[in-house]
Chain A
């Protein structure tokens, strides 16, 4: 399901009460996504399109955009079974954190990390160090770290980082520095799935509850 298809669904029926939380989404082509019939979700939603709101006034469009985001956050949270990744207020498919937070968390997870610096004097509010060139990647899927050639300590640190952030799916990029051939560069809850090959695919199937 693409974001376009979901956002233009024919009918939304999301109910909450003290007893139960349910959602039933009827798409324009008649297909139905029902909390009762979903048993796993690979969630790659990042942003919601708003082209269907283009005729609204700017104020109404902005209001509706936020309402849709609020609805999707709640709806994704409602879906049962494994969700890779669960939605968070910081991102529909997992938290998009500030570089400084990633640097802190990576350090705490035991990953080699270069010092991070941010200042108003830098002008753009971003890190001031020389351009980072991530050249190696580890992808964590449901506590399994996959990364060709990565030493055990890097795989373990990557798992720790995913646990600390509370995500099942995380891409961690590394670059080579004079101090470590695997220095933390960045992390994303939206991995490039091509990087993990068949091992990643098999892990995804397992994590989503399928037989492998």
Chain B
């Protein structure tokens, strides 16, 4: 039996649920929006980890779950808690429930896609870049500084430079224009990450255990996630990775402890492979919708232990 956690209508979660249904794998959905009717407990002892999840009137032993797909959103942002005071009983219950569930996911003797601890490196892109580098990928030349003069020098020494957040905060990757040099004085307050822009083809690689799906995103936008308008058209198509690069992606995800990963590559015209980031909670539905690559099916098969060692 597989446990799915999140909002059932969320596209990646619903796609995996459909695939689990299609292969006949029994599943249980923890709908976060029904948090008030949900309880959980677990024990850790010499016999391992045992516990129970109660959804409404139904009770499920935690040890019966062979796999868990976690797409949970921040519980404090749930619509059901809108208008609740910060320390209300409903908020406290939601917090305690999610903390207990999250604690169990870290120690559960089951397949978890993905454990929070494994995804931690994504909170610091330069930290993660050091791990990516160790895995043998090239990483773009990067300067993090609060010194406007150093930033200006970096801008002058590269044809094109982008800036983006260092942390897990989502930011739009933006080209730094020479006309913005005057604005650089504001970086004194908080160091900023600048990166040499790498020309080439954006490739998003999804790894599920040892399976690999590569998708090319063809656009001239600095951040392909925000392309697709008339100024920066975007095309998305399946991409064939060299077997050695595919193996390297699988190894990187494994090193990070990620059963399912979204790896952002850029492949330059002369064949160099740069790796920018590894997303521990990839919203793969966009890529599957454009290419029909069976990513949700692979996640479902992994969760149900079908064909994965």
Contact = CB atoms under 8 A, between A and B. Distances in A.
Contact of B41 (A87, A115, A121): A121
A74 B95 contact: no
A64 interface: yes
Chain B CB within 10 Å, residue with most, of A13, A21, A119, A123: A119
Contact of A89 (B44, B123, B190): B123
A16 B150 contact: no
A78 B121 CA distance: 14
B127 interface: yes
Interface of B is mostly: mixed
A31 interface: no
Nearest to A68: B190
Interface string B114-129: 0001001101111101
B156 interface: no
A67 interface: yes
Contacts of B144: 12-16, 71, 74
Contacts, number: 166
A78 B126 CA distance: 10
Contacts of B28: none
Contact of A16 (B44, B130, B192): B130
Which of A64, A77, A87, A107 has the largest count of B CB atoms less than 10 A from its CB?
Answer: A77
Interface-central residue, B39, B103, B121, B133, by most chain A CB under 10 Å = B103
B39 A101 contact: no
A116 B43 contact: yes
Contact of B120 (A16, A56, A90): A90
A14 B127 contact: no
Given A53-B189, A115-B45, A125 B107 contact: no
A57 interface: no
Interface in B102-150: 102-104, 106-107, 117, 120-121, 123-127, 129-130, 133, 138-147, 150
B130 A77 contact: yes
Given A56-B189, A70-B123, A78 B39 contact: no
11 contacts: A11-B150, A12-B191, A13-B144, A67-B191, A69-B124, A73-B124, A98-B106, A118-B100, A118-B104, A125-B95, A125-B96
Interface of A: 9, 11-18, 21, 52-53, 56, 63-64, 66-71, 73-74, 77-78, 87-90, 95, 97-101, 103-104, 107, 115-125
